[in-house]
A and B are shown apart, each in its own frame.
Chain A
Amino acid sequence: EDQVTQSPEALRLQEGESSSLNCSYTVSGLRGLFWYRQDPGKGPEFLFTLYSAGEEKEKERLKATLTKKESFLHITAPKPEDSATYLCAVKVHQGAQKLVFGQGTRLTINP
């Protein structure tokens, strides 16, 4: 069974304290990995797509990386506005659009 596990479930950081969120997956065949940000009361907002091991993508204070078994979302010098739930999802079948989501990491940045 295809599974996506995110850790930790929740993370509290001080403003400026860098850290990483983990997304590990056991799937039959990875066809793409997606990171989303979700604010309370809102739908997920797309951040990145990663296709193959070794790939990296950056956006402001966020950097996503991918290996054969996991992805990391690195947050450098975070600010309070980076507080949100971060979701990871994988596409497992070529041509199909179905995504398997992890349960998310709830990130809180204290000023």
Chain B
Amino acid sequence: DVKVTQSSRYLVKRTGEKVFLECVQDMDHENMFWYRQDPGLGLRLIYFSYDVKMKEKGDIPEGYSVSREKKERFSLILESASTNQTSMYLCASSIRGLRYSNQPQHFGDGTRLSIL
């Protein structure tokens, strides 16, 4: 089974802090993703990566950056945390597969981040 592990289940930080969220997958997947999930808004894509050192902006990248130095690890960085970044953050990974295939994304259990 695919295992996507997020380093923290719960995290409390203060406004203005630099926050790091870590995600590791054990299935040698090429693609990795960061989402946030908010009530009434569903899952929204922040950033994704097709390969090591590659990154693409999602729908809501403002205030975030990412790092992918190793294939199995994808980090989300909140440069200067603000209260509107309080949310559930979900990491996912998927195999690249053939160009016309539809490989599902597999999710971690999330990090519930509170910014005070």
Name A's B-contacting residues (CB within 8 A). Answer: 31-32, 34, 36, 41-46, 49, 51, 87, 89, 91, 94-95, 97-99, 101-104
B66: chain A residues within 8 A (beta carbon): none
B48: chain A residues within 8 A (beta carbon): 97-98
**Distance (whole angstroms) from the CB of A91 to the closest CB of chain B:** 6
Return the chain B residue nearest A98 by Cβ.
B45
Once A97-B31, A98-B58, A101-B42 are accepted as A-B contacts, the answer to whether A34 and B104 lie under 8 Å apart by CB is yes
What are 14 A-B contacts with C-beta separation under 8 Å? A31-B102, A34-B102, A42-B110, A43-B109, A44-B43, A89-B43, A94-B100, A97-B33, A97-B48, A97-B50, A98-B58, A99-B45, A101-B42, A103-B41
A91 to B48, CA, bound (A): 14
* A43 B90 Cβ-Cβ under 8 A: yes
**Distance (whole angstroms) from the CB of A102 to the closest CB of chain B:** 6
B31: chain A residues within 8 A (beta carbon): 97
* B105 A99 Cβ-Cβ under 8 A: yes
Tally A-B pairs: CB < 8 A. Answer: 54
B76-102 near A? 1/0 per residue, CB < 8 Å = 000000000000001010100001101
User: Which of A42, A51, A87, A102 is B102 in contact with, Cβ under 8 Å?
Assistant: A51
* A104 B42 Cβ-Cβ under 8 A: yes
- Which of A44, A97, A104: most chain B CB closer than 10 A? A97
Q: Label chain A's interface by main secondary structure.
A: loop
**Distance (whole angstroms) from the CB of A98 to the closest CB of chain B:** 6
User: Which of A41, A46, A101, A103 is B104 in contact with, Cβ under 8 Å?
Assistant: A46
A98 to B31, CA, bound (A): 10
* B102 A43 Cβ-Cβ under 8 A: no
B99: chain A residues within 8 A (beta carbon): 94-95
A102 to B94, CA, bound (A): 19
User: Which of A32, A41, A43, A103 is B107 in contact with, Cβ under 8 Å?
Assistant: A43
* A97 B105 Cβ-Cβ under 8 A: yes
